[in-house]
Amino acid sequence: MRALKDILFGVSITAVSGSTSVMVNSICFDSRIVTMGDVFVAIKGTITDGHEYIEKAIALGAKTIICETMPVTIVDDVTYVEVDNGNKALAIMASNFYDNPSKNLKLVGVTGTNGKTTISSLLYQLFKKAGFKVGLISTIKIMVDDTEYKTSHTTPDALTINHHLKLMNDVGVEFCFMEVSSHGIHQKRTEGLAFEGAIFTNLSHDHLDYHKTFAEYRDTKKLLFDNLPKKAFVLTNVDDKNGLVMLQNTKARKYTYALKTYADYKAQILENQFNGQLLKIDGSEVWSKLIGDFNAYNMLAIYGTAQLLGLEKLEILRLLSELENVDGRFQYFISKERITAIVDYAHTPDALKNVLDTINKLRTGNENVITVVGCGGDRDRSKRPVMGHIASEMSTTTIFTSDNPRTENPDEILKEIEAGVEVQNVRKTLTIESREQAIKTACQLANSNDIILIAGKGHETYQEINGVRAHFDDYEMVQNLLKALNK
């Protein structure tokens, strides 16, 4: 139990009704799960407004209400605190409630359109191998050193973040690497966290349903850097045209990485093969099991971050070569008939282009590239035709299929993807709504030495249709289907 006034420390308050000395059981922002003695924080969301549920929260036992507008009816024995921003208040209160756990470890945030999971997961791996206790908050999972927790968001809500950071404090975690999504920044899920540093990967087309314009999306990402303190570091990719934009208003120490231009941390790709690539990082040769130009950027960002966090150059180089692929990121196997099946989380135009580029560069003869891809429902519609164009242009055959249609009609999503296919590529495409049937068809079409790319869902183990999630695992599926076909 904590006193309300303690957890309100640092919150911008505009009015109070009632006592702030009351004791608080826990903080909650969903009236459906309020318990006796809770603080209920009313949040203005994208679908509804938490202010509409204040009475319901009180009926379930909430003793404190945090709101942006005082309700008309004030209930006796309930404390009301009016704040200027509910999301911001929630984040600061969550931090206070868990004793500001981000201050007790070195927290590094990773933002950008692609590469966040790869970089944060590999930094987790590298620092574990270096002998530290490490934390990870990522799209795939949350790790409190060796203990794994499930997660539903890339950047969870502020209570979930701080709760897990506190668990990290309890077991003596020294470094934590976390993904910072644009939704996370916009909804202030990371407000009040003490970052030791932040990394910018790249910026390309995504989430224009939520942010409306590319400039708004870019400026949201930039806020992570704008809010860093002077002693923190920023490491930015200056080959990306928005790399320097991220540095414009930051007080933090600035560092850069690049393959193509002058930077603090530089790399060169010396050799690229299916099972790895040889890089020259900061003048030293290093083998990376992760392939593709985009992974050279990821390795370089990891190298720079590890140096900025105090690891020795030689140790970092040795550990870089030991890093293993992240689940669902260019995860592949070669079948009995030498068909290469690759599962990759490319769900943006840029990622899809990079992965297909990498595959096409590695083709040695006239192997076919058969791509299975779709686009998520209730997400950015404008990326659909672009991905349709890229897949059909860069593959021998493309099968468009469903990728979490959520509440949308799968046929409509598929039509929007098909609209981007140019006339000359139409004959190279098929549309099969069922993802299982689509993967099966790819397996039937594939001959020895061909490459099957299954893009968009990576590590995900479900397919969400009409709000229901059924088990679905691309990697498991393609393995079973190739085996069943005796290929």
Ligand X SMILES: Nc1ncnc2c1ncn2[C@@H]1O[C@H](COP(=O)(O)OP(=O)(O)OP(=O)(O)O)[C@@H](O)[C@H]1O
Ligand Y SMILES: CC(=O)N[C@H]1[C@@H](OP(=O)(O)OP(=O)(O)OC[C@H]2O[C@@H](n3ccc(=O)[nH]c3=O)[C@H](O)[C@@H]2O)O[C@H](CO)[C@@H](O)[C@@H]1O[C@H](C)C(=O)N[C@@H](C)C(=O)N[C@H](CCC(=O)O)C(=O)O
Name the binding residues for ATP.
112-118
Stretch that binds ligand API, among 194-202, 298-306, 409-417, 454-462 (CB under 6 A): 454-462
The only residue of 53, 97, 255, 332 in contact with ligand Y, by rule CB under 6 A: 53
Residue nearest to ligand API (CB): 376
* Residue 401 touches ligand X, criterion: CB under 6 A: no
Q: Which does 457 bind (CB under 5 to 8 A by kind): ligand API, ligand Y, Mg ion, none?
A: ligand API
- Residue 457 CA, chain-centre distance (Å), reads 13
Nearer to ligand Y, 55 or 393 (CB): 55
Give backbone dihedrals phi and psi of 81, rounded to 5 degrees, phi first: -125, 120
Q: Which does 388 bind (CB under 5 to 8 A by kind): ligand Y, ligand API, Mg ion, none?
A: none
Residue span 76-115 as binding mask against ligand X, x where in contact by CB under 6 A, dash where not: --------------------------------------xx
Show binding-site residues: 31, 112-118, 154-155, 181, 187, 189, 379, 403-406, 456, 460
Residue span 113-152 as binding mask against ligand Y, x where in contact by CB under 6 A, dash where not: ----------------------------------------
Q: Please choose, from the candidates 357, 340, 350, the residue with its C-alpha nearest in 3D space to the C-alpha of residue 446.
A: 340
* Residue 250 touches ligand Y, criterion: CB under 6 A: no
| DSSP annotation string for 158-199 | HHHHHHHHHHHHHTT--EEEEE--HHHHHTTTTTT--EEEEE
* Residue 179 touches ligand X, criterion: CB under 6 A: yes
Alpha helices, H only, 53-173: 54-59, 86-97, 116-129, 158-170
* Residue 457 touches ligand API, criterion: CB under 6 A: yes
Phi-psi region of 391 (alpha: psi -120 to 50; beta: other; left: phi over 0): alpha
Q: For 206-210, which contacts have Cβ atoms below 8 Å and span 24 or more sequence positions? A: 206/113, 206/348, 206/380, 206/383, 207/182, 207/183, 207/379, 207/380, 208/380, 208/382, 208/383, 209/379, 209/380, 209/381, 209/382, 210/46, 210/182, 210/183, 210/186, 210/380
Q: Which does 404 bind (CB under 5 to 8 A by kind): ligand X, ligand API, Mg ion, none?
A: ligand API
Phi-psi region of 466 (alpha: psi -120 to 50; beta: other; left: phi over 0): left
Residue for token digits 């495409």?
Answer: 429
Q: Please choose, from the candidates 395, 374, 396, the residue with its C-alpha nearest in 3D space to the C-alpha of residue 385.
A: 374
- In angstroms, rounded to a whole number, what is the distance separating the alpha carbons of residues 276 and 274? 6
* Residue 350 touches ligand API, criterion: CB under 6 A: no
* Residue 354 touches ligand X, criterion: CB under 6 A: yes
72 CB-contact burial (10 Å; exposed 0-12 / middle 13-18 / buried 19+): exposed
The only residue of 79, 139, 236, 392 in contact with ligand X, by rule CB under 6 A: 139
Q: How far is the CB of 350 from Mg ion (least distance, A)?
A: 14
Q: How far is the CB of 183 from ligand Y (least distance, A)?
A: 4
The only residue of 138, 154, 340, 395 in contact with ligand Y, by rule CB under 6 A: 154
* Residue 429 touches Mg ion, criterion: CB under 5 A: no
The only residue of 118, 139, 151, 162 in contact with Mg ion, by rule CB under 5 A: 139
Two structure tokens written together for 403: 């990728």
206 CB-contact burial (10 Å; exposed 0-12 / middle 13-18 / buried 19+): buried
* Residue 222 touches ligand API, criterion: CB under 6 A: no
* Residue 397 touches ligand X, criterion: CB under 6 A: no
- Residue 157 CA, chain-centre distance (Å), reads 13
Q: How far is the CB of 157 from ligand Y (least distance, A)?
A: 4
Residue for token digits 């087309």?
Answer: 205
Residue nearest to ligand X (CB): 115
Spatial contact of 95 and 87, defined as CB atoms under 8 Å apart? no
Q: Which helix (H) or strand (E) holds 416?
A: helix 410-418
- Tell me which residues in 178-217 interact with ligand Y (CB under 6 A): 181, 183-184, 187
Residue for token digits 């509910």?
Answer: 86
* Residue 157 touches ligand Y, criterion: CB under 6 A: yes
Give the sign of the dihedral formed by CA 346, CA 347, CA 353, CA 356. Answer: positive
* Residue 376 touches ligand API, criterion: CB under 6 A: yes
Spatial contact of 396 and 480, defined as CB atoms under 8 Å apart? no
Query: 3-class DSSP state for residue 366?
Result: coil
Q: How far is the CB of 181 from ligand Y (least distance, A)?
A: 3
- Tell me which residues in 145-164 interact with Mg ion (CB under 5 A): 154
Binding residues with ligand API: total (CB under 6 A): 9
Stretch that binds ligand Y, among 24-32, 263-271, 321-329, 359-367 (CB under 6 A): 24-32
Nearer to ligand API, 63 or 211 (CB): 211
Binding region for ligand X (CB under 6 A): 114-118, 139, 154, 179, 181, 201-202, 294, 297-298, 329, 344-346, 350-351, 354-355, 458
Binding region for ligand API (CB under 6 A): 154, 347, 376, 379, 403-404, 456-457, 460
Binding region for ligand Y (CB under 6 A): 29-32, 43, 45-48, 50, 53, 153-155, 157, 181, 183-184, 187
